[in-house]
Structure 1
């Protein structure tokens, strides 16, 4: 069995932290996203944008990482935004209703412009 691979890139864009997971986000790889995402989310007043454009798959474990980061950000006056979700990833949010608790943007540029 091969472990699905996930790469996570974090960049700063003004007041925003842009977290870009690339690959498959599932129970094998969720910890690779959790640490950098929560580190950004725990900064007081943080505005974290998760660029989902390179995310090929997201299961419930990955969804829980995103939801957990959202709660941490809101606890310190920050927020987590999702941008550029592909159809496969968007479907997970649609089925679970999780899209309703996030601010979702069609593109990364739209998320940064807000």
Structure 2
């Protein structure tokens, strides 16, 4: 059975990030709007997970309402760090408005994208 622990919740106005661990995977769930003003609210727990040696990260985007280029850059930076550590960043459950940003920029091809959190965890 996978070990699961509920971690911290970071909050910054229009965005909060829930963090938990399932087995060897760190799950980060941003809730709200990821943009220039809130990017550090996600960047911090991503960096913390990578610094703690967790290189398989799943970002559950099902509750993310908006993502701009700054938010995209936070995720791309985490992907580079995770890849260098032998892991990766998986994105799960993207809403169409968020998925569109990834499609327009071509970033959807550099991430492993899953339809749901369950699919990402079974991968």
Please tell me the TM-score bracket, short chain as reference: over 0.9
The answer to whether 1:101 aligns with 2:98 is: no
Q: Which has the higher contact order (CA 8 A, sep 6+)?
A: 1
Decide which of 60, 64, 69 is 2:69's aligned counterpart. 60
Q: Secondary structure at the match of 2:74?
A: helix
- Where does residue 36 of structure 1 map in the other structure? 45
* Separation (CA, whole Å) in 2 of partners of 1:72 and 1:52: 20
**Number of residues of Structure 1 aligned to a counterpart in Structure 2:** 112
TM-score under structure 2 length normalisation: 0.87
* Separation (CA, whole Å) in 2 of partners of 1:4 and 1:100: 30
1:1-114 equivalence runs, <5 A: 5-44=14-53, 46-114=55-123
RMSD: 1.4
Q: CA deviation at 1:4?
A: 5.5
* Separation (CA, whole Å) in 1 of partners of 2:54 and 2:20: 17
Q: Deviations over 1:5-47 (max 9, x none)?
A: 1000100011110000000000000011001012213444621
TM-score under structure 1 length normalisation: 0.93
Higher strand fraction: Structure 1 or Structure 2?
2
- 4+ residue runs over 3 A deviation: 42-45
Structure 1: tracts of 5 or more residues without a match: none
Structure 2: tracts of 5 or more residues without a match: 1-11
